[in-house]
Amino acid sequence: MFELLKVDSSSKARLGRLTTPHGVIDTPVFMSVGTQGSVKAIDPRELREMGTQIILGNTYHLSIRPGMEIIRAAGGLHSFINWPAPILTDSGGFQVFSLATIRKIQAHGVEFRSHLDGSLLFLGPKEAMAIQRELGSDIAMVFDECPAHTSTPRELRAAVERTVRWARECREQPRAPGQLVFGIVQGGTDPSLRELCARELIATGFDGYAIGGVSVGEPEPEMLRAVELAEQFLPIGQARYAMGLGTPAQLVELVARGVDIFDCVLPARVARNGTAFTRKGSISIKGGAKKADFRPIEEGCDCFACRHFTRAYLRHLLNVGEILGLRMLSVHNTRMYLRVMEDVRKAIASATFAEFRREFVANYVPTQKVLLARAAAADR
Q: Indicate which residues carry an active-site annotation.
A: 90, 263
CA distances (Å), origin 98, targets 86, 101, 217, 285, 291: 26, 8, 12, 31, 39
Does 312 engage in binding with its own copies (CB under 8 A)?
yes
Does 310 engage in binding with its own copies (CB under 8 A)?
yes
Taking CB under 8 A as the criterion, the residue among 308, 346, 355, 376 binding its own copies is: 308
Cross-strand pairs, 283: 276
Does 36 engage in binding with its own copies (CB under 8 A)?
yes
Of the candidate spans 14-22, 184-192, 313-321, 357-365, the one that interacts with its own copies by CB under 8 A turns out to be 313-321
Of the candidate spans 22-30, 209-217, 288-296, 367-375, the one that interacts with its own copies by CB under 8 A turns out to be 288-296
3-state SS class at 176? coil
Looking at beta carbons only, is 84 or 178 nearer to its own copies? 84
Helices 153-172, 191-204: inter-axial angle, 10-degree rounding: 10
CB of 71 to its own copies, least distance (A): 9
Does 302 engage in binding with its own copies (CB under 8 A)?
no
Of the candidate spans 7-15, 309-317, 337-345, 358-366, the one that interacts with its own copies by CB under 8 A turns out to be 309-317
Which of these, 240, 244, 246, 196, lies nearest to 221 by C-alpha position?
A: 246
**Exposed, middle or buried by CB within 10 Å (0-12, 13-18, 19+), for 155?**
middle
Helix then strand then coil, % of the chain, to nearest 5: 45, 20, 35
Does 76 engage in binding with its own copies (CB under 8 A)?
no
Cross-strand pairs, 112: 102, 121
Does 26 engage in binding with its own copies (CB under 8 A)?
no
Looking at beta carbons only, is 228 or 322 nearer to its own copies? 322
Please state, in angstroms and rounded to a whole number, the distance separating the CA atoms of residues 350 and 301. Answer: 22
CB of 114 to its own copies, least distance (A): 13
Please state, in angstroms and rounded to a whole number, the distance separating the CA atoms of residues 213 and 62. Answer: 22
Within the chain, residue ranges assigned H as helices are 44-49, 59-62, 68-74, 77-81, 93-98, 125-135, 153-172, 191-204, 220-231, 248-256, 266-272, 304-308, 311-320, 323-349, 353-363, 368-379
Binding mask 48-67 for its own copies (x = CB under 8 A): -------------x---xx-
Taking CB under 8 A as the criterion, the residue among 31, 33, 41, 255 binding its own copies is: 41
Taking CB under 8 A as the criterion, the residue among 80, 112, 206, 262 binding its own copies is: 80
Looking at beta carbons only, is 74 or 158 nearer to its own copies? 74
Does 317 engage in binding with its own copies (CB under 8 A)?
yes
3-state SS class at 353? helix
Taking CB under 8 A as the criterion, the residue among 5, 24, 70, 236 binding its own copies is: 70
Does 309 engage in binding with its own copies (CB under 8 A)?
yes
Q: How far is CA 266 from the centre of its chain?
A: 10
The residue ranges that bind its own copies (CB under 8 A) are 36-38, 40-45, 61, 65-66, 69-70, 73-74, 80-82, 291-292, 294, 304, 308-310, 312-313, 315-317, 319-320, 322-328
